[in-house]
Amino acid sequence: MPEYLTKDYTITAEEVAELLSYNIQYVRILARTGKLPALKRGRVWMFCEAEIWDFLERYTHEEIEEYRRKITKLMNSKEANEKRGDR
């Protein structure tokens, strides 16, 4: 049986964002890139509480903040390009 089927994925991205004081988009990016393990059920990302704590132990605060800065810069650049009409 795959390991992901044995874990309890009951926490939503919104709950993770609130728990970690992260932006919801950032939580979804962490899930999509595999940095924060999650399952996507339909259009909803679901997380396992134990995996969240493992994530926090695995990465230092500095590594998480550096990744968040990079993602924020990328998101801001994308928004600026969309406002200008660049694609």
Give the model confidence (pLDDT) of 33-70 as tens digits: 988 999 998 999 999 988 888 888 887 778 888 888 88
Q: Which pLDDT belongs to residue 59?
A: 79
Q: Which pLDDT belongs to residue 17?
A: 93
In the chain, domain spans: 7-84
Q: How confident is the model at residue 1 (pLDDT cuts 50, 70, 90)?
A: very low
CATH annotation of 7-84: 1.10.1660
Phi, psi of 39 (to 5 degrees): -115, 145
| pTM for this entry | 0.66
